[in-house]
Amino acid sequence: MIWLLLVAHLAALPATVIAGKQSMRSGLAAAAVVPAITAVWAAVLLIDDRTPTTAELVWVDGLDLALRFRTDAVALMMTLLVSGIGALVFVYAIGYFSPGAKGGTRFPASLLAFSASMLGLVLADSVWTLFIFWELTSITSFLLVGHKNDDESVLAAARRALMITGAGGLVLLAGLLILADEAGTVVLSELTPVQGGGATLAAILILIGAATKSAQVPFHVWLPGAMAAPTPVSAYLHSATMVKAGVLLVAVLGSTFAEVDAWKVVGLGFGIISMLWGAVGALRHRDAKLILAWGTVSQLGLLITLLSVGSGKATFAATSILFAHALFKAALFLTVGEIDIRTGTRDIGELGGLARKMPITFAVALAGGLSMAGVPPLLGFAAKEAAIEAVLGLEGPEAGIAGFGVIGGSILTVAYTTRFLVTVFGPGPDTTVAPRRWAMTGPAVFLGSAGVVGYAAIGPVNDLIVSAATELNEKSNVYLLFRWPGLTTGLAVSAAVVGVGALLGAMMARRTKPAPKPTGATLADDGLDGVLKLARNLTAIVQHGSLPVYLATMGATATIAAIPFLFGLGTDHLILADDPVQALLAVAIVGAAAAGMFVRSRLGAALTLGAVGLGVSGMFVVHGAPDLVLTQLLVETVVVVGFVIGLGHLDRRFPRSPNTWRAVRITIAMTGGIAVMLALAAAGAGPVGEAPVADIAASSVDEGGGNNIVNVVLTDLRALDTLGEVVVLATAAVGILALARAGRPETEEAPA
Amino acid sequence: MIREHSPVVELGVRAASPLAIMVGVYLLFAGHNNPGGGFAAGLVFGAVVALRTVAGLQRTDLALPLIAGGVIVAGLVAAAPLLWGDLMLDQQVWTVEVPVLGKVKSGTALFFDLGVTAIVIGLVMAVLDGLGAADLAAPPSHHPDGDGDGDRETGSDPVAEVDAG
């Protein structure tokens, strides 16, 4: 079933493109189908049968390269969120884009491709599978953020997001490699706790990778910029799914790194700073979407904090908030998108009185906002209570640090939520509102009411959260979410948090200071520009464009590279020639090569090269290697024709050059040639053992079904090498085409 | 100098092309048991393309589709065994009775070789293109505003291009 769903996602891509050719809206409708089915599948499994199933496709057995998937409770919960919210976002986008919107072939398919990548990521059960889908989400999200590709600032934001998450992906890969080595397995569900120096390094690298994806300070700078994406994308990628990838990774690996101190320290550092700084950012901005984006940074920090604490209760609280946050933050983004479309602005200074003009949107935002602030009767309240109970139950230094972070962050969260709700929906400037679009309102209402329904039906929610949390940390199975915890210390703290936060938020509601400049984003862009400039300068030095100097560099390098071999040079195994024909051919080859150095005409030089080639083919004939002869002769033939074409553009004779330069070139050529010859002679002296010819000959007939060993080796026994080589050939050919066409006038590109 | 079209060369190339293509096809199939194979066949076809280009009989536009097609075919052959649970690039060998030729043995390696052939032809075309073969293919015209409007899609002045190169 896992395969079926993944393949269905792939199969739906061309269908989406075709439907998108008609209009953006039909493309979106086509794309919604498969995620909807996937969500139903996950829901059914969650209710019915939570026994983990696995799916595996071994690619290269010896290297342990395989696609592995597993449906445990965590994976299913994430699938429900990814595909369920995905399907809703597709419907929402139908309302978001105007009927004549451009990009119908591109946007729905990209969003579906992202949905498929995210599904693969949450179901992955091997570090390689996880990494592949992790990177795929980075790439697809780049396409989605850069949707309005005629706007320079949008492209800069998309590039920034790709660069930061892409660099983080590389760091993550390094961490995963070390982890796989330390743990002795690549299967996520079979990882055992690791410790020691390598484990510490792996923990830090993986946390950095997770922090870039989950927009943790200081890597958060890409997230506000990514708000340049269409709002459906922001709701889906930047609140509910992709930014949760890092959190999910930290959650999954939490028990593996439980005994590594650095895991906890670095994780708490990222989490608490992000939680506080994100909330401060949300209080400073005026764009409603940016307020939510900064709020996401803060909430993700809360999740990382709780997961880094690692106690059973904290993991349980993190799982609850993960679930609740996906619902309420997506709902809030959807309402902001609707406000944007219907009023034409997202600036909270220009909005006001929307409670009356957009009552349904207000109700959804209120439900989402209160859930975010942790106010009953909403799921966010129960989850927030669990978080506060978890940090109150801690002991030692981390109790103070985590407690300060979580409670301080919660106060600020309530504050920015209040500010958002009051300024957008409370009294203020009179905003003109366009008519409602049900495709937008429907999904928002669904997600907004999910928080209320989840609170009312807390039993099934508990069931889901407990089994997911237990999957992550077996000590989590004794905790439950409560509708009303009774008069506990935790409730008192919560009440104080809400009170102080609401007051703070109300005070800052009509703050008129302009929004802060995106310093971090500017720094990131400057860094990128600096790297590009350095690359350009370096390229200008290395790739100077002088063919003689390139050749001289190659010759000199070959000479230097040959030096180590010369120590192995012995005379006892060297034979002058085992056939008089060889000696004759050798004289001819050397003679032709020497003549090539002194010929003045270009055609003459080409002919001497041809003579060398033919002489070498003759050598192959003497040695009994018909395949090599054939290939060499054919290459020579094609090269001759190439020369005919190329020489047509050039003078008949080489340009005259100063005698000293000429002497230098001849010297380099000769020393290079002699050095390589000596190196080959020395290499032949090395002990090689028995040549495996007999084995290969036998297996080429048995396995490859052919008698020509050379070709069977190429196409069967070592076919992976050949595949790699032809891809290199193809890449080189495309490069030649690109280079050749780059130097020509624009109009030349039409035939391609 | 090559822009002066020679009818002798053109006729020669026209006559030789089918023969050379037959040799190429032979090499492609012979490769399993005798010298030959996809790479050699690709070079023969590439040589045909190159000669025809010199004679002004052929354009080199097909490079990209050939390269892409070749990579796709080779990649599909490589990945296909995964679908029925074998390892990547595991090859199937079939033996078929063909009326005239008798018993013919072949395998998936043949398709892999076809991919290689396409890539090699594409590579030769790309190199020819890089050497400026495009203006050979167009009828010789030293006057940009002259006749030959039918083949003027390239839109560039061959003489100017030589100077640029």
Per-residue pLDDT reduced to its tens digit, A330-387: 999 999 999 999 998 898 888 888 888 899 999 999 999 999 999 988 999 999 999 9
Q: Is the pLDDT of residue A418 over 90?
A: yes
User: How far out from the chain centre does Cα A393 lie?
Assistant: 37
**Which residues does chain B have with pLDDT short of 50?**
1-2, 140-165
pLDDT of residue A642: 83
**Conformational region of residue B34, where left means phi above 0, alpha means psi within -120 to 50, and beta covers everything else:** beta
Q: Kindly give, in sequence order, each residue whose CB lies less than 8 Å from that of residue A356, ignoring residues fewer than 6 positions away.
A: none
Cβ separation of B47 and A627 shorter than 8 Å? Answer: no
Cβ separation of A748 and B154 shorter than 8 Å? Answer: yes
List the single residue in B with minimal CA-CA distance to A747.
B155
Please report the DSSP string for A277-302 in residue order. HHHHHHHH--BHHHHHHHHHHHHHHH
Among A634, A743, A748, whose Cβ lies nearest the Cβ of B40?
Answer: A634
B contact test, residue of A7, A628, A634, A715 with most B CBs within 10 A: A715
Q: Kindly give, in sequence order, each residue whose CB lies less than 8 Å from that of residue A698, ignoring residues fewer than 6 positions away.
A: none
> From the CA of A5, how many Å to the nearest CA of chain B?
16
Token reading at A63: 């290297």
Q: Kindly give, in sequence order, each residue whose CB lies less than 8 Å from that of residue B152, ignoring residues fewer than 6 positions away.
A: B138
pLDDT of residue B159: 40
- The residue type found at B72 is I
Looking at chain A, the whole-number percentage of residues with pLDDT higher than 70 is 97
Q: Is the pLDDT of residue A113 over 50?
A: yes
Q: Is the pLDDT of residue A10 over 80?
A: yes
- Exposed (0-12), middle (13-18) or buried (19+): which is B28, by Cβ within 10 Å? buried
Report how far residue A482's alpha carbon sits from residue B133's, in angstroms, rounded to the nearest whole number. Answer: 77
* A649 vs A388, more confident: A388
- Mean pLDDT over A457-473 rounds to 91
Among B31, B32, B132, whose Cβ lies nearest the Cβ of A649?
Answer: B132
> From the CA of A728, how many Å to the nearest CA of chain B?
10
Q: Is the pLDDT of residue A14 over 80?
A: yes
- The residue type found at A680 is L
Measured between CB atoms, does B29 come within 8 Å of chain A? no
Q: Is A625 helix (H, G, I), strand (E, B) or coil?
A: coil
Q: Which residues in chain A have their CB less than 8 angstroms from residue B156's CB?
A: 744-745, 747-748
Q: Is the pLDDT of residue A299 over 60?
A: yes
pTM of the model: 0.76
pLDDT grade, residue A542 (50/70/90)? Answer: confident
- Mean pLDDT over A209-221 rounds to 93
Handedness of CA A131, A132, A137, A143 (dihedral sign): positive
> From the CA of B141, how many Å to the nearest CA of chain A?
16
Q: Which residues in chain A have their CB less than 8 angstroms from residue B128's CB?
A: 642, 645
Measured between CB atoms, does B5 come within 8 Å of chain A? no
Token reading at B134: 């495009």
pLDDT of residue A115: 96
Per-residue pLDDT reduced to its tens digit, A153-190: 899 999 999 999 999 999 999 999 999 999 988 899 88
Report how far residue A285's alpha carbon sits from residue A94's, in angstroms, rounded to the nearest whole number. Answer: 29
Q: Kindly give, in sequence order, each residue whose CB lies less than 8 Å from that of residue A63, ignoring residues fewer than 6 positions away.
A: none
